[in-house]
Structure 1
Amino acid sequence: MKHARIVLDGIVHAATEAGPGQVRLPDGRVLAEDQVQWLPPIEPRTTFTLAINYADHAKELAFKAPAEPLGFLKAANTFVGHRARTFRPADVAFMHYECELAVVIGKTARNVRRDQAYDHVAGYTVANDYALRDYLENWYRPNLRVKSRDTCTPLGPWLVDRDDIPDPMNLTLSTHVNGVRTQLGNTRDMVFDVPALIEYFSSFMTLSPGDLILTGTPDGIVNVKPGDEVVTEIEGVGRLVNTLVPLPA
């Protein structure tokens, strides 16, 4: 099932997918997606983000694939929902999207073996993890100004139950900017797959329900500017729409 969190008449509702572009409220009402305000499908707790976790992206950046996961943390203030606006500062020369499969932890995980990793997954959603290249000091673990800016991580629209995605390691990812496809990849090309990432992070810290793992992006990143509509989509998981706007003075 696909789950969402939406706001209608100032009240937060749990919702499910009623059909393409439609949501169903708990009282049975069906609304078009543009009739509601979308929130991230979960309220993220600790969020782990991966740098250079696709071999083609590493090549795009002229790096070798890492020997172990290059993880860093992301703050909660950065998340917005489907159809939200993301602010681009006027003084930034290069800001790009990153279409990523986001793994939602559903059960406490500590020292989890990879063959048990999926038992600890609640489901999956789509993340668009914008990066502000101007502030980049370290490709391997980007700093807060690159990856934790307000509104710079759209998430959603749906949380898709784990069992509804039979093989998360064979999903097509794509990004369209103003209707033009700019990014295309597949989760099978991750350097470290979902079980490996859960095994790795849980080996030195406890993962809790509501934690997120953003699993990296394939190649094909381009600069985006105010006015651009960016659509990040993952096969079977969802189509996440976002618009760039200038950062208010």
Structure 2
Amino acid sequence: MPEYRRILLDGAAVQVVREDDELVAGDGRRVKAEDAHHLPPVVPSKVVAVHLNHRSRVDEFRIDLAPTPTYFHKPTSALNSHKGAVVRPEGCKWLNYEGEVAIVIGKTARNISPAEAGEYIAGYTVANDYGLHDFRDTDAGSMLRVKGSDTLCPLGPGLVTDWDFHDKYLRTYVNGEVVQDGSTAEMEWDMHYLVADIARTITLYPGDVLLSGTPANSRPVQPGDVVEVEVEGLGRLTNHIVTGPTPIRSDVGAQPTESEEVRSTALGGDWEFRGIRPPRRG
């Protein structure tokens, strides 16, 4: 399966192809993959993420899954790359990892069926849909700052084409220990469904990214932690957590909070989707 990456090579953003442990530019220049300065493998006009899709995550929150998915938006300013630093702002403490598969659009898609959607997908990459839950109380359900703050959308290492998304494992590691262990087989809605659903009313352009959901056991990480997301056939995305150099400004806007909802969501409780889906009874 071909894998394309974007790296900073002699000061320029360059697309390269992976050949074993080397990355090869169109002009023949080569660099060791482990030595390369990686960039996000695609340049999207938008990043759309599904709230809930993995059955293990639904069970963890002890809720009923709605008959159709809901979504939120991550601004492109949140983009990050393989080996990039993920910033937890000073004064915040509830930064959670969420290992995911990212769908990358290959050609303009609008009003297509799930059966047609595969023709509009360029390929797939690995994502970590970080959430800064300290702002959950103040985002009024939009997830804008929770999921859209700077550096909270690492993608990579590369874009893999001709990847079959069925029955592939997805694992997240923190400091080498497995903390999420899921599979695309537990997804309620597959990649083609998600693309077709969004494209009913939102035009998807080449490079646009859809995040397809995370398995159970999203938990907080700390500065100094190394977080890796591995997807079978797509590779391993590695990032490290750092503290922001300055605290959240206190002279404007709502401040980080540590409510029951914040703590419950960050630690795997059942608050996150109340008001969107009814809690499970019995």
Q: TM-score, normalised by structure 2?
A: 0.82
User: Aligned residues, how many?
Assistant: 245
Partner in structure 2 of residue 11 of structure 1: 12
1:1-249 equivalences under 5 Å are: 1-20=2-21, 22-137=22-137, 142-161=142-161, 163=162, 165=163, 167-249=164-246
Q: Alignment identity in percent?
A: 38
Which residues of structure 2 form unaligned runs of 5+?
A: 247-282
Letter in 2 for 1:192: W
In structure 2, relative to structure 1, the CA distance for the partners of 1:169 and 1:192 (3 Å cut) is same
In structure 2, relative to structure 1, the CA distance for the partners of 1:139 and 1:145 (3 Å cut) is closer
Letter in 1 for 2:178: R
3-state DSSP of counterpart to 1:147: helix
3-state DSSP of counterpart to 1:56: helix
Deviation at 1:129, TM superposition (A): 0.8
3-state DSSP of counterpart to 1:89: strand
Q: Is the 8 A contact 1:169 1:194 kept in 2?
A: no
Q: Is the 8 A contact 2:44 2:206 kept in 1?
A: no
Which residues of structure 1 form unaligned runs of 5+?
A: none
Q: Is the 8 A contact 1:85 1:151 kept in 2?
A: yes
Distance 1:215 1:202 in 2: 15
Distance 1:214 1:5 in 2: 19
Q: Is the 8 A contact 1:137 1:143 kept in 2?
A: no
Letter in 1 for 2:229: T
Deviation at 1:184, TM superposition (A): 0.6
Distance 1:132 1:61 in 2: 18
Distance 2:30 2:109 in 1: 37
Letter in 2 for 1:223: P
Q: Is the 8 A contact 1:70 1:140 kept in 2?
A: no
Q: Is the 8 A contact 1:110 1:202 kept in 2?
A: yes
In structure 2, relative to structure 1, the CA distance for the partners of 1:24 and 1:171 (3 Å cut) is same
Deviation at 1:45, TM superposition (A): 1.1
Distance 2:208 2:28 in 1: 30
Q: Is the 8 A contact 1:173 1:235 kept in 2?
A: yes
Q: TM-score, normalised by structure 1?
A: 0.93
| Largest Rg, 1 or 2 | 2
Deviation at 1:141, TM superposition (A): 5.0
Q: Is the 8 A contact 1:71 1:141 kept in 2?
A: no
Q: Is the 8 A contact 2:139 2:146 kept in 1?
A: no
Q: Is the 8 A contact 2:54 2:188 kept in 1?
A: yes
Letter in 2 for 1:83: K
Deviation at 1:29, TM superposition (A): 3.4
Deviation at 1:33, TM superposition (A): 2.5
Deviations 1:176-217, CA, capped at 9 Å, x for gaps = 110111111001111211111122111122222111110010
Deviations 1:5-47, CA, capped at 9 Å, x for gaps = 1002212211111214x32222333322232210000111121
